[in-house]
Amino acid sequence: MKRGILVFLCFNMVALHGWAGNDNYPSGARSAGVASASVAFSDIWSSANNQAGLAYIEKSTAAFYYENRWNVQQLSVNAGAIAVPVKSTVIGLNYRHFGFSQYSDTKLGLAVAKKLWEKIAVGVQMDYFHTYYAYDYGQFNMLSAEIGVQYEPVKNLKAGVHLFNVTHSKQKANPDEYIPTVMRFGLSYTIKDMATVSVETEKDRRMKAVFKAGLEFKPVGNLYLRYGMSNGLMYQYAFGAGYAWKHFSFDMAFSRHRLLGYSPHLSLIATL
């Protein structure tokens, strides 16, 4: 009974603040470990965070991500991504699923990323959203698009810009139900391949701007430690770790919500 009440309260908070449901939600435990200050990162999870980052992938890569949001199984998130370089272009396919038997939403994305010049990369993605409501509330589908740019003005300094829902898509069946339009801008700076500092601001048309900052540190070998903080509602504090071994890398993180507690994040990446 208590768990049912918690699920009900969490679900309403999710719906109220747009934390899932056709939203621009970052993926990957690496991103979670730095409080999602990841718009200037270039890895497989750029397929969800900024598609321009996919342009830097040189080998075919696959990844899986899982988040047990606030340790409530019904609010779990799982995601997957594949990126394949084709000559000078990288093609990406990704998905994300949130919810349980009474409510769920699924996002499928097809991305194309390319370096226009040595220091500038651009990525675009078409998104398909499917939202399911139990009983007689029905099912809804929507299409949208994303675009991102990354620019490296000097060595080790990278800027990223990402715009989610450039089409301002809404549900045809319910005009009040729409996909939020979100813009993210951030910087990342790598210090002697030992540490990466990232800062970012995110602006949803419905809410105040959110500011984030993260640190990724490589103390020894292929071990990574991460910490992040934000003034947003989702990630106020976050920390995590990652380890790379041959063709695989494993990342985990914990993010803290000031009212609902901690959420564990796990992701696995394989380079083919």
Summarised one tens digit per residue, pLDDT across range 180-221 is: 899 999 999 999 889 999 999 999 887 889 999 999 999 999
Query: Model-level pTM?
Result: 0.89
> Read out DSSP for the chain?
-HHHHHHHHHHHHHHHHTSSSS-----SHHHHHTTT--TT--STTHHHH-GGGGGG--S-EEEEEEE-GGG-GGG-EEEEEEEEEETTEEEEEEEEEEEETTEEEEEEEEEEEEEEETTEEEEEEEEEEEEEETTTTEEEEEEEEEEEEEEEEETTEEEEEEEE-TT--B-SS-TT-BPPPEEEEEEEEEETTTEEEEEEEEEETTS--EEEEEEEEEEETTEEEEEEEESSSS-SEEEEEEEEETTEEEEEEEEEETTTEEEEEEEEEEE-
pLDDT at position 15 is 44
pLDDT in tens, 88-101: 999 999 999 998 88
- Mean pLDDT value across the chain: 88
pLDDT at position 5 is 44
Comparing 70 with 81, which gets the higher pLDDT? 81
Q: How confident is the model at residue 16 (pLDDT cuts 50, 70, 90)?
A: very low
Domain extent at residue 244: 2-271
pLDDT in tens, 25-40: 889 999 999 999 999 9
* Residue 172's CATH number: 2.40.160.60
Query: Could you give the number of structural domains in the chain?
Result: 1
